[in-house]
Amino acid sequence: MKQGLVLSALVGFVIVSAMTALVIGSVPLSLETIARALIRAVTGIGGGDVPAAHQAIVVHLRLPRVLLACLVGGTLALAGAVLQGLFRNPMADPGLIGVSSGGALGAVLAMVLGLASQSMWALPVLAFIGAGLATWVIFLLASSHGRTPLGMLLLAGLAVSAFLTAMTSLLLSLAKNIYVMREVLFWLMGGLEGRGWLHLWVAAVPALIAGGALSWFAQDLNVLAASGEEGARSLGLDMDRLKRWLLILTALMVGAVVSVSGIIGFVGLIVPHIARLVVGPDHRILFPTVALGGAVLLIWADLLTRTLVPAQELRLGVVAAFVGAPFFISLLRRHRAQSEAI
C-alpha cells in the first residue's frame, strides 16, 4: 500500500515538475498557453490564439528538453540501482563500469576530428560506440575460464575508466581549435541545451528497451542481495549470465543517454539511496521508484541551470555535482562509521 502511494506521488511529482519547467524560462508562459500549445501540437487543431513564437518555444524548445531530462535522469538513476545491487556496493554508479568515460572519449573524438561539425549523428553514434567498447573491454579483462568475479569487474571498470579519462584529457590537450576545446569542455560537464526531438529519439529507443528488459532481472537481484554471490549460485542462479546481461543492458541505456547529454554525475548515486530508504530494497519496486525519482531530480536540476543566473546558462553536470557531492561525502562518513562499529 505504502509503495503504491509512493509511486503514485512520484508520478504526480513528475507531471508537476514538467509543467513547472514548461512554464518557467526567459519567456514566462501561463499554464493555459502551455495547454493550448500542447493540444494544438497533438491534435493539429485549436490554439489559434497562441502566438507562433510561444508555440515554437513550448513544442520545439522546452518540451523535448523536459522529456530528455526525464529520460536521462530516470536512466542514470536506474543504472545506479542496478549496479549497486549487482556489486552490492552502495557507492556504485554508472561511472564505475567505464560507460560514461567510453562515451566521453567517443564524443571527444567526434569533435576533435571535425566529424561532429559535418553530421549531427557523428557525436551520439561515436559516443554510443565508445560506451559499448568500454563495456566489452572490461568484460574481456575481468573474465577468466568462463567466470567473471564481481571484484575483478569492479577493478577492471575502475582501471578502464581511468585510462579512458586520461585519453580524453590527452585529446583535449592536443586540440588546437579553441572552439573545439570549448565544445569538448562543455560536453564533459553535461547539459541539455540545444537538444531537440531528434536527440530525444536517438536516446529514448535504446534506453527504454534496455530499461524495460532490466525489469526481468529484478527478482534475481533480490536473490543476490539476500544470499550473496555464492549463495545465489547454490540456489541455481546463473551468476555469469546475470552479470553479463545486467552490464550489457546498463551500458546500452547509459551509453544512449550520455551520447546526447554529456557526462552528468551523482544522479545514479543519490537517487537509489533515497529510494531504498522510502520503499525498501525490493528491486521490483525500487526500479520504477528510482526511474521516477531520477526524472524529478534532473528536471529541477535542468531548470536551475537555465534560471539560476540571469542571461546565462549553467552546466547541468555542475549543478548535479553541487547537489551530489555533499550527499556523497555524508555517505562516505556513514559508511566509515558503520565499518568502525563492526
Looking at residue 44, its amino acid is G
**Residue 22 covered by a domain:** yes
| Per-residue exposure over 150-188, b if at least 16 CB sit within 10 Å of its own CB, e if not | beebbebbeebbeebbebbeebbeebeeeebbebbeebb
Angle CA 161–287–317, to nearest 5: 45
pLDDT at position 335: 64
Instruction: Please check whether residue 138 lies inside any domain of the structure.
Output: yes
Q: Where are the beta strands (DSSP E) in the chain?
A: none
User: What pLDDT is recorded for position 315?
Assistant: 87
Task: With CA atoms as reference, report the closest residue to 21 among 65, 87, 81, 52.
Answer: 65
pLDDT at residue 313 in the model: 81
- Report whether 83 contacts 66 (CB < 8 A): no
Count how many domains the chain has: 1
Residue 274: per-residue pLDDT: 86
Question: Nearest 5 degrees, angle CA 169-CA 175-CA 176?
Answer: 150
Domain that holds residue 108: 2-337
| 54 in Cβ contact with 33 (< 8 Å) | yes
- CATH assignment of the domain containing 157: 1.10.3470.10
Cell of 173: 590537450
H or E, element range at 124 = helix 122-142
pTM of this prediction? 0.89
342 located within any domain: no
Q: What is the DSSP letter of 195?
A: -
91 within a domain of the structure (yes/no): yes
Q: Is 69 among the domain residues?
A: yes
pLDDT at 212: 94
| Local confidence pLDDT in tens for the 342 residues of the chain | 678 898 999 999 999 999 999 999 888 888 888 988 888 888 777 656 778 888 889 988 999 999 999 999 999 999 999 989 988 877 778 876 777 888 888 888 888 888 877 887 787 788 878 888 888 888 888 877 667 777 787 788 888 888 988 988 888 887 777 777 777 877 788 889 888 898 899 899 989 999 999 999 999 999 998 888 888 888 888 888 898 899 889 888 888 898 888 888 889 888 998 898 889 899 999 999 999 999 999 999 999 998 888 777 888 888 888 877 777 677 667 766 666 665
What's the pLDDT at 234? 87
What are the cell numbers at 263?
557526462
